[in-house]
Amino acid sequence: MDGRRVVIYAPDRAHEGEWPTFAEDAIRLLDQAGIACAITRTLPSASTVNHLFTEYLASHFEDFIAGDELPIRQAIPAVLLALASHGRFDKRVHRNTAMLFAGTAALSLRYRNRERPARALAKLRADLGAIWGRGTLVLTPTCTTRPPRHGRAAFAYPLMTFCKLGNLTDATGLALPFGSYPARGPERRWGRWSRDPASGPPMPRSLQILGPPGSEDAVLDLAEILARAIAHS
């Protein structure tokens, strides 16, 4: 792998979030570092990747619950109790985990065909593998929104999409601090001021470097080059 060969995976409109200038910012950073780059058009959109992750997870739900860490006969009442009591009466399952478990279980009734997500996943891995096969690393946002309020992560569906891209393809990944989300004042909702912690001072954001399995050296080399460029920008 060559740490100086990079393509940018830009967010689609549904994933621009609070960082709509990611592609421009990344191009500027790579230019400062003396690295030529292009925006890849051969990978599916972020929304497609997010849906694929959900469909694959839901269609393989029975496999994921087959372990004996928390048997299903104990898991179901624990999940229901966590949802009903906001996690106060049963500490085995966090409320956020319970919401994700219940949602995935419901989706497993819809996504029962394993072949369709398996084919889509094979194509995604082949498309990304072709990029990596040319000795090229991929640059993405780590995420494009501020962290949600505590306990609300289950409702932030686009939050981890770019990490899901790495998870689905068994990528070697590294996140590098890069700029901040701008300060944002409180918003008035339903006649009251929002308590959303996203309101307030600037919050850090980061970009993500993705390489194939075993490419730690190339990923770290690129991270070092970009870290120097960020420090001098």
pLDDT in tens, 109-163: 888 899 999 999 999 999 999 999 999 999 999 999 988 877 677 677 888 999 9
Query: Of the given ranges (74-78, 184-188, 205-209, 223-227), which has the lowest mean pLDDT?
Result: 184-188
Distances (CA, A) of 155 to 99, 148, 149, 167, 210: 9, 9, 10, 20, 26
3-state secondary structure of 141: strand
Provide the 10 A C-beta neighbour count for residue 105.
16
Query: 225: Cβ–Cβ under 8 A, 6 or more apart, which residues?
Result: 3, 4, 33, 35
Write the DSSP string, 79-123. Answer: HHHHHHHTTSS--SS-HHHHHHHHHHHHHHTT---SHHHHHHHHH
DSSP H or E run through 211: strand 203-211
The more confident residue out of 78 and 47 is 47
**Residues 18, 22, 23, 28, CA torsion sign:** positive
* pLDDT at res. 147: 82
Would you place residue 191 in the very low, low, confident or very high pLDDT band (cuts 50, 70, 90)?
very low
Percent over 70 (pLDDT), the chain: 85
Residue 20 confidence (pLDDT): 95
Mean pLDDT of the chain: 86
* Ordered structural domains, the chain, with CATH: 6-50+114-231 (3.90.1300.10), 61-113 (no CATH)
The larger pLDDT score, comparing residue 218 to residue 1, is at 218
pLDDT of residue 70: 64
Single pTM value for the model: 0.82
Query: What is the phi/psi pair of residue 205, to 5°?
Result: -130, 170
Q: Is 200 left (phi over 0), alpha (psi -120 to 50) or beta?
A: left
What distances in angstroms separate CA 49 from CA 19, 107, 141, 209, 211, one per listed residue? 19, 17, 14, 17, 17
Task: Answer yes or no: is pLDDT of 184 > 90.
Answer: no
| Contact (CB, 8 A) for 138 and 174 | no
pLDDT at 183: 73
Beta bridge partners of 138: 7, 210
Single out the residue of 177, 141, 203 nearest to residue 12, CA to CA.
141
| Span 2-12, average pLDDT | 89
Residues in the chain: 233
Q: What is the rounded CA–CA span in Å between residue 50 and residue 165? A: 8
Rounded average pLDDT over 195-216: 82
For 167, residues 6+ apart whose C-beta sits below 8 A from its C-beta are 53
pLDDT at 65: 74
Q: How much of the chain, in percent, has pLDDT values that exceed 90?
A: 57
Distance CA 155, CA 170 (A): 25
pLDDT at residue number 185: 57
